[in-house]
Structure 1
Amino acid sequence: MAKVKYYYDSENLAYRKISTKKRTKFGVFLLFLIASALFGFLAFVLLLNTPFFETPRDRFQAREIENLKLNYAILNKKMDEIDAVADALENRDNNLYRVYFNKAEIPDSIRKAGFSNKNRYKKLEGYNNSQLVKNTTIRMDQLAKELAIQSQSLDEILKLASAKEDLLAAIPAIQPVQNENLKRMASGFGYRSDPFTKIKKMHAGMDFTANTGTPIYATGDGVVTRADNTASGYGNHVVIKHGFGYETLYGHMSKYNCRVGQRVKRGDIIGYVGSTGRSQGPHCHYEVHKDGKAVNPLNFYYGNISAVEYVAIAKLANQENQSLD
């Protein structure tokens, strides 16, 4: 039962009942409703931002975040494994491949250098898990950069290996006349007595005596640049350009078995022993040139003779006898 309130009317000396107007009642009720709604909204917002109250969407997002953290952890573990493989490859690259091909190693200051752009990862900052995402991204970028540098290094090594293979094929590494076809080693590289003037002069090659028609072999891969008899003294002769500064000459042939511009391989028959030009008997005059300078062919016979045979040939070649041309 609602309380009835009274007030004292001093003029009439009597108590009178206090009555509330309907408009005032309505205003009070409306104010109460507004205050209640505002209080309820504030309470709802506070509940949403406390761990004591989770919506289905909040639970879903929490699971997604935990799943992302797990995926980042797995990704970092895989990067640890790749790092170990990359380190082993870099070690072999510096201490084996580049050493073999006489190339300077790539220092860690280059292999593991960071990025100069300080704002590169700015967009990843400001989130709850920013540090995890940022550190993982930095590791990924660093690893990608290391692999790119390693790839470039291996490309360089591959080119060097290919060039090394070409170099080994180009070096004049065998005798132009096989041992079983030789009569004797007539003359070696150095100052020898000229067979016509009897004066000592530089003999820029080696003379291999053999029967006329004995095959003469290309001593390395290359391209035939001459096959004629226009050079003084050599008679019918062939010149092969091998590349890498190497060039060989085969003189006094009875006939050719190649043509200018032809690419030949080591061991191909390029002509036959004869006694054309300035010669005193059937033989092959053989010269090796490196960077335009005549060098001793004896230093290159490692491709088809044994150590014992090399010693025997060296002994004969170093005798100061008379040359055949």
Structure 2
Amino acid sequence: MSKVKYYYDSESLSYKKIERKKGTTFTYAFVFTLAAALFGFIFVFLASQFVESPKERALKRELQNAQLQFELLNKKMEKTEMVLANIADRDNNIYRVYFEANPIPEEQRTAGFGGVNRYKSLEGFDNSKLIVESNKRLDIIQKQLVVQSKSLDEIAKLAEDKEKLLAAIPAIQPVSNQDLSRMASGYGFRSDPFTKVRKMHWGMDFSAPKGSPIYATGDGVVERADNTASGYGNHIRIDHGYGYVSLYAHLFKYNVRKNQKVKRGDLIGFVGSTGRSEAPHLHYEIFKDDERINPINFYYGSLTAEEFNEMLEHASLENQSLD
């Protein structure tokens, strides 16, 4: 119950009750309400500026965590870039050199992306710079991986071709040392056994007993196995691919037929003395791109250094050939 208030009236010399006007009450109520609302607004405003709500604290923690994750991502990308740089260096300076392929330019490996701004949607945020830079680095790393992957595909193909080439090149002695009587004559000018005239001897003669095994000196396909070539008697020609052909002449008999595939070391025939031959031996020639070349350089697969030096010494003698 509200207190009743009085005032002293000097004219009537008596106390009179104070009557509050309705308009004044409304004014007081309005002012009070307005003041309370204003105070509340100021309090809420100040609280929002200096006091974090649970939701704001959670969002702040999420933002800090996102920044930390981006920093960790950048560190991982730095390590990835170092690994890629090492792989690229080995690719250019070892693998591609070995397989005689042109190195990939650094600009091609590390080039960015020109033209349209790919990161426009990431701009305008508090951490846009961090996000944009991270995405740029990641895109460049992805491009480097694509370039490197294609390069390794190329290297794998070159390695496969190189392996086939190494298997195809004539690389062993066609008659084993245990069956060999002697290396009778080498490549170069020699005395003809029938005319005694000095002429070019286009192969190497391996003297061995009749029936001694003859081996394919590299992988290939038998191109000929006949006796229709003048002077060679029974002979075999193997096409090794890559421009290489090996010829085996004066055979006693064959162990292969035309168009047959052979591997290095396969038994292809036996030593004889057919055709223009003075004694049992194997006449061996090598062709490269249809040109005869010295077979002395193609025994690295079966001879030691000492054996090769001994063969080289005998092959260099200008003696009489056996065919």
TM-score by length of 1: 0.82
Residue-pair matches, total = 308
Structure 1 Cα separation of the partners of residues 216 and 265 of structure 2: 5
2:224 to 203, 223, 226: 226
- Please say which of residues 247-256 and 164-173 is displaced more in the overlay: 164-173
The Cα of 1:304 is off from its aligned counterpart by: 1.6
- Name the structure 1 match of 2:262: 264
Q: 2:298 matched to 1:300?
A: yes
- Name the structure 2 match of 1:147: 145
Unmatched 5+ stretches in structure 1: 3-19
- Name the structure 1 match of 2:154: 156
The Cα of 1:43 is off from its aligned counterpart by: 6.4
Cα deviations across residues 107-138 of structure 1 (Å, max 9, x unaligned)? Answer: 32222111113411111101111111111111
Unmatched 5+ stretches in structure 2: 6-20
Structure 1 Cα separation of the partners of residues 273 and 33 of structure 2: 126
Structure 2 Cα separation of the partners of residues 233 and 247 of structure 1: 18
TM-score by length of 2: 0.82
- Name the structure 1 match of 2:205: 207
- Equivalent position SS for 1:180: coil
Structure 1 Cα separation of the partners of residues 45 and 263 of structure 2: 88
Structure 2 Cα separation of the partners of residues 215 and 165 of structure 1: 27
- Equivalent position SS for 1:72: helix
- Name the structure 2 match of 1:93: 91
Paired residues for 1:1-325 under 5 Å: 50-325=48-323
Structure 1 Cα separation of the partners of residues 115 and 44 of structure 2: 42
Paired AA for residue 82 in structure 2: A
Root mean square deviation, CA, Å: 3.1
The Cα of 1:218 is off from its aligned counterpart by: 0.7
CA distance 1:119–1:166, change in 2 (3 Å): same
Runs of 4+ with deviation above 4 angstroms: 31-48
Between the aligned residues of both structures, percent identity stands at 55
Paired AA for residue 127 in structure 1: F
- Equivalent position SS for 1:51: helix
CA distance 1:259–1:38, change in 2 (3 Å): farther
The Cα of 1:91 is off from its aligned counterpart by: 2.4
Structure 2 Cα separation of the partners of residues 182 and 241 of structure 1: 25
Structure 1 Cα separation of the partners of residues 44 and 200 of structure 2: 106
The Cα of 1:320 is off from its aligned counterpart by: 2.3
- Equivalent position SS for 1:207: strand
Structure 1 Cα separation of the partners of residues 103 and 95 of structure 2: 9
